[in-house]
Structure formats: C-alpha cells, structure tokens
Amino acid sequence: MNDENKENYEKEDNQSENEKINSRVEKNSKESKPVLIAVTKEILEWIYCIVIAVVLAVLIKYYVGTPTVVKQSSMYPTLEQYDRLLLSRLDRTAKKLPKRGQIITFEAPTRIGSMEEINLEQPIAKYENEPKSWWDKFIYYVLEIGKISYIKRVIALPGEHVELKNEKVYINGEELKEDYLNENVRTPITGPYFDFVVPENCVFAMGDNRGDSTDCRELGCIPLEKIESKVVLRFFPFNKFGKVK
C-alpha cells in the first residue's frame, strides 16, 4: 500500500470515528434533555411551593395570629419574661376595639410626651417616624423588621373619663375593680396622663406591674390602628399552659 492510499484510509477511519463520537454525543444529548427538563420542572415546583408557603405564613401572621415572647417585666406577675404567647390578630383585621381587661400588643410610640407638649383634649400617643415608601411599610408593618411592640392591659375605652388618684384607677368617677392585680399593687402617677377622657377609637392601657411599666400614663392613649393583637393563651412554660387572664 503506497503512502497516498494509506493516508486516505486513515482519513476515512478518522472520519468514521468522528461520526461515531458525534452520534454518541447527539444520542446522549437527546437522552439527557428529558432528564434536564424533569429536574428543572422539579426545582421550579419546589420554588413555587416555597414561595406559596412564605406568602401564606406572612398573611397568617399579619391577619390571623402569631406567636411571641415576653421580653420585659411590665406585666409581672401575670406575664413573666420569656413567656411564650399566642396572639390573635383577628380583631385588628376586623378593625374591632379590644375590651376592658384584655391584654393587647401595640406599636410602641416614638416618644414620651412631656407636660409642655401634651394636649389633654387629645391625649393620644405620638407616632412620628412613619415609613413612607410602600416597601418600607411592608418591611415595617408586615414583616415587622425594626418594629418595637408593647404588651399591656386595656383599662379604659373611648369616651370614658380616666382619673388616677390615691394610687388607684377611677373610671367615670368610680373606682375600677382590678381583680387581676395583686392586693398590694398600687397605681402611681408616672406621667402627664392621669386625668382625661379617652378619645374616640383609642384605648388607655397599663402594665400590671404598675411601678415598673412604661405605658399610657406616659405615652397617651393608643389609636385603634396601632393596636396589633390580643393575647389568646400562653403555651410556654408548659406548667402555665392555658388562657391568660
């Protein structure tokens, strides 16, 4: 076999080998395509499920209820630090005022009023640093990132005359019976709001630990739109599991 024929045979062999390789690559590509489509579909389904779960969780937390943990001692001994509570937000969703004696959470006012600034004709807590953009509102109000909340007990309702004197609470001239307090608890005047009428769509709330509670005595009354939830039950510690009174 001369060199020219030998070279032609080698070219044919290489061409045949390349065709076989290309054929295998094409075959593997066709076989892997359905697998890739199936994997991609499964990943997308998982993403959809995760997104739906997150959206549902956010909606439930905002409109229905959410757990929380007590961080301060202002409601002692009714509630202690690190108690785990279940909160209901159905009243907020329905824009319904809480009842007297219910324990609620509300957005913390931005600052405490002073005697020079208060208006006893409108003794309403001040909220000055409201988020402006829709995204900031979503982060603050829905996701509650950077938001501070207080937990207190509702003492007086719209239109009622509140008077704190002799370390007791008077509503419309009558002493308020507070069976949820220990017998030795007194209600000192700790701020400028001690003799006023609760404005419309507002509540007056205080902590059960009257001597160690920053509440409406210093802050002013809480508007309905700033009330977040009411306490339904305590689920931890387990030996105190049940409805909170």
What does the pLDDT read at residue 11? 45
Burial label for 56, CB within 10 Å (0-12, 13-18, 19+), is: exposed
Tokens 């007056």 label which residue? 204
- pTM comes to 0.82
Domain spans of the chain, in order of start: 1-63, 66-243
Cα separation of 85 and 59, whole Å? 19
Q: What is the mean pLDDT of each run of 10 residues along the chain (245 residues)?
A: 48 50 53 71 91 94 95 94 96 95 96 68 89 93 93 98 96 95 92 95 97 94 97 95 92
Preceding omega of 237 cis (within 30 degrees of 0): yes
**Cα radius of gyration rounded to whole Å, the chain:** 33
CB contact at 8 A, 132 and 116: no
For residue 5, CA distances in Å to 10, 13, 41, 73, 171 come to 9, 12, 54, 99, 116
Q: Looking at domain 66-243, does it have CATH number 3.40.190.10?
A: no
